[in-house]
Amino acid sequence: MTMDVHGYAATSPESDLAPFQFERRDPRPDDVVIDILFCGVCHSDLHTARNDWGWTTYPIVPGHEIIGRVTSVGPNVTRFRVGDHVGVGCMVDSCRQCAACKEGLEQYCEQGPVFTYGGVDRQDRRPTHGGYSDGIVVSERFVVKIPDGLDLKGVAPLLCAGITTWSPLRHWKVGEGSHVAVAGLGGLGHMALKLAKALGAHVTLFTRSPGKEQDARRLGADQVVLSTDAAQMAGVARRFDLIIDTVPSVHDVGPYVPTLAIGGTLVLVGYLGNLDPMLNTVPMILGRKSVAGSLIGGLPETQELLEFCGAHGITADVEVIPMQDINAAYERMLKSDVKYRFVIDMASLKA
C-alpha cells in the first residue's frame, strides 16, 4: 500500500512552490513511516527549487530538516516505536558498504549518498521528495531519535544547519579553551556560535555588519570582530584554532587566514565553487595553516549532536511559518531577513 501525501513542490525554476500530491513507497521491512510535524527551510531548498546548481529534476519537493512522529515501523526495525519523535536530515540512504559508510560517514559515501530530495531511490529508482509534505518513509538507519525535553520546532534546523557546523567542531576537536571563530551570522552561523560555546570554546564572530553584535553575544559570542576593519583583524592575528566559514557566496578568504593560529584550520561549509580572489598560499605555508571543507555529517554524528543538544538545552532560533507562506519566506531569505531559520508547521497543510 503506497501512501498518498500532500506537499508543496516546484515544477520549474521560475514557478512558485505550489500544492502537490504524490505517493510515498510501500514501507519496506526496515522502514519507519513518519508523520511530519515540522520542516526547517534551508538555503539548499531554495537553490534546488530554482535550479541554481543545474541539477534539479522537476517536480521537486524540498525540505531536509524534518521532525516527525512515527506512525508505523517495518518488522525489521529495532530502534523506533510508534509515537517516537524522530528526525530525518539531508540523506535517506547510501551504499552502506564502502569505507565511508562503514565509518558512519554516509555523507562521503563513495557511490554518493541518496539525498532526501532530488535523489533517486537505490531500489525502486524513483525520485526522492523531501519534508515540505505531511509524511515520509525512511529506512531506520537514516532516522535519528529526538531527545525528550527539546522544543521540536527548534530541533528541525539541527538536522542540516546544526550538523553542518557540529561535524567540523568535532573533527577538529574543539573543546574547553579552544579559540573558534565563525564567519557569517545566518542559519549556520548562529548554530556554530551556540555549539562552539557549549563545547567550552572562546568564540568570536566575524561579521561585516556592526548591528549584529548584540545578537551574536546573546547566541554565545565572547567577541565580535568587524572583518572589514583592518585594525580589528590585526588584533586577532594568529588567534584561532578553527574558523568555521559559513558565508554562502563567493568571497575573499584571504583576510581570515592570518587570524589562524599555527596549525589552525579555516573550514568552508557554506559555499560551493571557486574562491575569488584565488587563495594565497604564503600565509598558509608560513604557519602550517589549512583551508578545508566539510559536508553536513553522518548519522552517528547527527545522533551525537542531538544528544548533546538535549543535554545542553540547545535548539535553533526559529520563525514558524505556515506552508502557504513558503514563497514569501524564500524572498526574505534572499535578503537575510530571518532570525535565524524558518520552520514550516506542517499542521498548516491540513488547514
Return the number of the residue (95 or 284) whose C-beta is nearest Zn ion. 95
- 322 grid coordinates: 505556515
- Using left for φ > 0, alpha for ψ between -120 and 50, and beta otherwise, residue 327 falls in alpha
Check binding of 305 to Zn ion (CB under 5 A).
no
The number of residues that bind Zn ion (CB under 5 A) is 8
Peptide bond connecting 210 to the previous residue in cis, omega within 30 degrees of 0 = no
Q: Please give the torsion angle defined by the CA atoms of residues 336, 249, 107 and 47, in that order, rounded to the nearest 10 degrees.
A: 60
Check binding of 316 to Zn ion (CB under 5 A).
no
Q: CA geometry: angle at 153 spanning 197 and 349, to 5°?
A: 155
Q: How far is the CB of 95 from Zn ion (least distance, A)?
A: 3
Burial of 290 (0-12, 13-18, 19+ CB in 10 A): middle
Return the number of the residue (47 or 217) whose C-beta is nearest Zn ion. 47
> Which residue stretch of 100-108, 123-131, 148-156, 219-227 sits at the interface with Zn ion (rule: CB under 5 A)?
100-108
Check binding of 95 to Zn ion (CB under 5 A).
yes
Cβ-proximal residues to 228 (8 Å cutoff; 6+ apart), any chain: 208
Q: How far is the CB of 42 from Zn ion (least distance, A)?
A: 3
Cβ-proximal residues to 298 (8 Å cutoff; 6+ apart), any chain: 103, 104, 105, 106, 107, 108, 167
- 314 grid coordinates: 540547545
Draw the binding track, 153-192, toward Zn ion (x: CB under 5 A; -: no contact).
Answer: -------x--------------------------------
- 24 grid coordinates: 510515498
Check binding of 338 to Zn ion (CB under 5 A).
no
Q: Which of residues 11-70 bind Zn ion (CB under 5 A)?
A: 42, 44
Cα-atom radius of gyration of the chain, to the nearest Å?
Answer: 20
Check binding of 291 to Zn ion (CB under 5 A).
no
Among 3, 98, 233, 295, binds Zn ion (CB under 5 A): 98
Helix (H) or strand (E) holding 227: none
Check binding of 94 to Zn ion (CB under 5 A).
yes
Q: How far is the CB of 102 from Zn ion (least distance, A)?
A: 8
Check binding of 109 to Zn ion (CB under 5 A).
yes
Return the number of the residue (42 or 323) whose C-beta is nearest Zn ion. 42
> Which residue stretch of 95-103, 195-203, 208-216, 329-337 sits at the interface with Zn ion (rule: CB under 5 A)?
95-103
Q: Which residues bind Zn ion (CB under 5 A)?
A: 42, 44, 94-95, 98, 101, 109, 160
